[in-house]
Structure 1
Amino acid sequence: MLSDFIFHTERRTEAECKALLKVRRGELAALQHRLDQAGLPVIVLLEGWSAAGKGRTIQSLIRELDPRFFKVISVNSPTETERRWPFLKRHFETIPAAGKVLFLDTGWMEETVQAYLRGDLSDREYEHRLESINIFERQLAAGGYLLVKLFLHIDPETQKERLDNLAADKDTAWRCNEADRRQNKNYERQLAVFDRYLAATDKPWAPWKVIDSTQAAQANLAAADWLHDQICAALKNRPSPVHPAYQWPLAPTLPLEQVKLDKVLEERDYRRQLKKCRKKLAALHNELYRKKVPVVIVYEGWDAAGKGGNIKRLASSLDPRGYEVLPIAAPTKDELARHYLWRFWTRLPKTGHIAIFDRSWYGRVMVERLEGFCTTDDWQRAFDEINEFEQELTDSGMVVIKFWVQIDKDTQLERFNQRQADPAKQWKITEEDWRNRDKWDAYQVAVDEMLQRTSTTFAPWHILESVDKRYARIKAMKTVIEALEQALRP
């Protein structure tokens, strides 16, 4: 893309560009209110050469915008803490809410390209990173986001001249560092890497716009024109990515009606095994922390199946400084205004820590599906998006363990009645629980499909037979022990 780019020789005068730009800025300001009314979130990604004018272009684009509805982030190299999370986490957590605009002064492109040039990423790792970025951008576009990607291009002579000018002024010398000089010195190698990146990530739902940034006024106008046109097009017809046809490596699962629930563990055996499992888990948690391995444990299951008690016994074995239990309720207004996976990306554990989710992202293909909180296209697409999410976690070194806590309908009714009759437990039973029970058969169909389509070899489902809660608790603890031992001593 860049190798074939021809720098323009015919240009408008600076005065003409400024006059047209003034009009365009007014139109962008008007569009901002339409974005808010339509609930369309926009991410404007500014990438390009050092000294190409990314900051200047952002400043030009936002001049007439209402600052209450946009945000500008200058993305720096990841901190030591940020490196303890999956690569995409810090980028996913900054995505804007519906109707808002986010301007990024460099982003995941700069981070990826520089890591590759430094040798931090092998060719294979770089290709995998590009795949992750394409998935990230496709998920955002499918979730209703508009991605506007601009690359500011300059020739090596112009870049050197600008870097020299920056270095000559004591107030701007800090903007010209050794990495910038190195980029200019190795312009051709950098050009080849930029080319490869742009070609790999140029998609119909998130295309790149390369802008000749030799002349500031001309570049600012070109950026404003492109942003205006992209917003207008999205307001008429939001981008609809083509969803890939995946063949996921699946682990076999039984339909729920075939799961035998006659497993029983006597009290004496339960106490003996509980003590043994707690001791083992405590030792493994210490090893996890030392080896900096992050763990995600997901609990899903029927109401009154015993998720809370199961989590309580598991957590009692762990160092409280190194784990967190995350009860997931209905999304808040702020969470509803973003991609549905956003509230889970922001809750991931750092290395050496454990996050236990009491309900999770699987609400998309169960509650949201059956209660009509998302479209059919949304929940059908979510099976693959969830697999992509979990694969991103496991590829980053995270252990993902998923439990479905299973009981039968008669056991649930018995437990509901017990809760209703016990003043100390009445808070556990709500009208919503009874309504969900009326939809048992529909939920079972949804859960069976969920288990079948998302029990992958890298993040399989484990069924906990919980008519006997003691049996289910020990089985969960043993499953976690086995998974951690495999991760720590492969």
Structure 2
Amino acid sequence: MLEKLDLTKSMGKSEYKEKMVELEARIGRLQRECRSLGIPVMIAFEGYGASGKGLQIGELIQALDPRGFEVYAVKNETKEEQMHPFMWRFWTKLPEKGRIAIYDSSWYRKVLVDRFDKKTKKKDLDRAFQSICAFEEQLTADGMVIIKIFLAIDQEEQKRRFERLSESPETAWRVSKGDWKRNQKFEKYQAMNEEMLNRTDTQYAPWHIVEATDRRYATARIYAVVADRLEEQVKLVKERMEQEKVQQDRGTENPEVEREASGQEGPEQERDQRESILAKADLSLSYSKEEYKKRLMELQKRMELLHGELYRKRIPVVIGFEGWDAGGKGGAIKRLTRKMDPRGYVVHPTASPTEREKAHHYLWRFWTDMPKAGHVTIFDRTWYGRVMVERIEGFCTKQEWQRAYKEINDMERDLTDAGAIVLKFWMQIDRDEQERRFKARQQNPEKQWKITDEDWRNREKWDQYEEAVNEMLIRTSTPKAPWIVVEGNCKYYARIKVLETVVEAIEARLEQERSDRA
């Protein structure tokens, strides 16, 4: 692909000026339309060293309102970034709806420069490509426009540019030893770029290869690519809005969500299989108060020691709690963290998303809170709200919650691939126990704040939630990020099971690391 490009393409000054007048006005107008329609845009610049990424970004932003974009220069990972999964630093730099983010080099560094420098090991390469494609697919499915531009020059042109830059003290710093090494082994590095383009050129995020020997030609081509892609998305969003307006006028808004949420779809056999997951929970399991106190003390002491080991070994832990209202999440979290060093863990209670959070992909707010290596993050309610409350209450479309299973599995795989322990607890109680706890809260002035009208309303949709939970457990429990159903009618039993599970998972990981070193 790359070796067959015609890198002699050029554009005269008069033609360039004529084209750019129209293109600059077009891009300025499209930026305003994207802002008004809430379309987020990511523009990633990749290419060979000295191919002009910085220069072309500088040219592109001349047509943009500076209040509506941000430019990120992606270099070596910082210490903070090294302590997270590699996609974390890009999830935390996503543009809000209506804004544009431009990347001078991007998430592709992992499979290009880092691969060439052998920072990315061969065994990790497939996973890196898989994470990149999942990242782009998730974002574009949610309405993000991803424009990927690859600037191409040949080996001799690159060498000439390096030499010219090296001649001046003001620009010599821009050429590194790594740049010269990649020039000397141009064919090897070109093959890596070729593989990257082939493996990540997708329908939802295609590559646009720009011949960059001539600056004017490259600038005009980039402007045209960006303008065409934005225009395409603006047209698509306007058509979709018009269709939604017609549906609303006909009174058919979100029929799919209502039909699926009410359990009107799916073969009976499959539904019976899903219902069996929660039905298998033995809610008669219990501990006496004496047994509970003894086990609690032992487990909390072990947890205290293990928390220190996690920090020393730089192992991150992600623990998610879901369950029925009054299912015992708060009590379990309190006992779990009782002896942990407060400097090494954080508990995130997940409420309805804020306006800023709504302006991003629904997973964005969870990615930003993921722990760095050696720390523990506990989520009281999680990203699984997408396939439960948002599904049942119609806060997202059927298409959105159905694709969320894969998106969530992809995210959790990124976490475990980066070395995290991921555990997810479903706190299971029956309807009668929930009603008893609700009434007890209402009668206790110290706990009345825990019960709301919404809690009582949710009980009316118990069957719908039960079906959604069973499907969630089946579709998102994996060997490395399992769901643990906690029998919770007895609070003592539930708290001990949570502590035992966390302790055993940590001990198993530490034992695995000892075996790997042996």
The two structures share one fold, judged by TM-score above 0.5: yes
In structure 2, the residue matched to 1:247 is none
Q: Secondary structure at the match of 2:425?
A: strand
Paired position in structure 1 for 2:254: none
The one of 330, 335, 355 equivalent to 2:352 is 330
- Do 2:96 and 2:359's aligned partners in 1 also have CA atoms closer than 8 Å? yes
Q: Secondary structure at the match of 2:301?
A: helix
Distance in 2 between residues matched to 1:417 and 1:14, nearest whole Å = 79
Task: Confirm or deny: 8 A CA contact 2:327 2:488 kept in the other structure.
Answer: yes
1:18–1:217: 8 Å Cα contact kept in structure 2? no
Check whether the contact 1:3–1:195 (CA below 8 A) recurs between aligned residues.
Answer: no
1:61 aligned residue: 60
Query: Alignment partner of 1:62: what SS?
Result: helix
**Cα RMSD after superposing both structures:** 1.6
Q: What is the CA deviation profile of residues 43-84 of structure 1, one whole-angstrom value per residue up to 9, with x for unaligned ones?
A: 000111111111111111110211111111111110122111
Q: Secondary structure at the match of 1:237?
A: helix
Select the residue among 323, 328, 340 that pairs with 1:301: 323
Range with bigger deviation, 193-202 or 451-460: 451-460
Instruction: Provide the C-alpha distance between the structure 2 equivalents of 1:281 and 1:110, rounded to a whole number of angstroms.
Output: 38
- Residue 50 of structure 2 is aligned to residue 51 of structure 1: yes
Q: Report what 1:474 is aligned to.
A: 496
**1:98-150 alpha-carbon deviations (Å, 9 max, x no partner):** 11111101011123311111122232311221111111111111111111000
Are 1:292 and 1:352, in contact at CA under 8 Å, matched by a contact in 2? Answer: yes
Q: Is the 8 A contact 1:148 1:208 kept in 2?
A: yes
Q: Which runs of 4+ in 1 moved over 4 A?
A: none
TM-score by length of 1: 0.95
1:375-413 Cα offsets, whole Å, 9 max, x none, are 000001111111111111111111001100011111111
Amino acid at match of 1:231: L
Q: Contact 2:322/2:427 (CA < 8 Å) preserved in 1?
A: yes
The more displaced of 297-306 and 427-436 is 427-436
CA distance in 2, matches of 1:131, 1:413: 45
Matches within 5 A, 1:352-431: 352-431=374-453
Letter in 2 for 1:6: D
Amino acid at match of 1:271: K
Query: What is the Cα deviation at residue 8 of structure 1?
Result: 3.4
Which letter does structure 2 place at the counterpart of 1:182?
K
Amino acid at match of 2:6: I
**Which residue of 1 is the match for residue 370 of structure 2?**
348
Shift, 1:423, TM fit: 1.4
Q: Which has the higher helix share?
A: 2
Please report how far the alpha carbon of residue 483 of structure 1 lies from its aligned counterpart in structure 2 after TM superposition: 0.7
Rounded Cα–Cα distance in structure 2 between residues aligned with 1:151 and 1:34: 26
CA contact (8 A) 2:41 2:95 kept: yes
Q: CA deviation at 1:254?
A: 4.6
What residue is the counterpart of 1:8 in the other structure?
Answer: 8
Counterpart of 1:243 in structure 2 is: none
CA contact (8 A) 1:253 1:451 kept: no
Partner of 2:156: 157
Deviation at 1:253, TM superposition (A): 9.5
| Cα separation, 2, equivalents of 1:460 and 1:222 | 48
Once residues 125 and 174 of structure 1 are traced to their aligned partners in structure 2, the CA distance between those partners, rounded to angstroms, is 31
**Equivalent runs, 1:215-294 vs 2, <5 Å:** 215-237=214-236, 254-294=276-316
- Letter paired with 1:50: G
| Matching residue's letter, 2:51 | A
Cα distance in 2 for partners of 1:253, 1:470 equals 26
* Partner-residue secondary structure (3-state), 1:180: helix
Q: Which amino acid aligns with 2:186?
A: Y
1:464 and 2:486 correspond: yes
Mapping for residues 50-89 of structure 1, pairs under 5 Å: 50-89=49-88
What residue ranges of structure 1 are gaps of 5+ in the alignment? Answer: 241-251
Distance of 2:14 and 2:54 partners within structure 1: 21
Shift of 1:4: 2.2
SS at match of 1:348: coil
Residue in structure 1 matched with residue 129 of structure 2 by the alignment = 130
Query: 2:111 and 2:467 mapped to 1: Cα distance?
Result: 42
1:184-203 paired onto structure 2 within 5 Å: 184-203=183-202
Paired with 1:186 and 1:331, the residues of 2 have a C-alpha distance of 49
Q: In the aligned structure 2, how far is the partner of 1:303 from the partner of 1:202?
A: 45
Match of 2:264 in 1: none
Query: Which residue of 2 is the match for residue 246 of structure 1?
Result: none
Task: Calculate percent identity across the aligned residue pairs.
Answer: 44
Once the two structures are superposed, residues 292-333 of structure 1 have per-residue CA deviations (whole angstroms, 9 ceiling, x without a partner) of: 111001100011111101100001121111111111111111
**What secondary structure, in the 3-state scheme, does the structure 2 residue paired with 1:356 have?**
strand
Q: Give TM-score scaled by structure 2 length.
A: 0.90
Letter in 1 for 2:230: I
Shift of 1:476: 0.5
Which whole-Å deviations, capped at 9, do the CAs of 1:464-490 have from their partners, x for residues lacking one? 111110110011000111111111112
Structure 2 counterpart of 1:198, which letter?
Answer: L
- Could you tell me which of 433, 457, 466 is aligned with 1:444? 466
**SS at 1:489's partner residue?**
helix
Letter in 2 for 1:412: Q
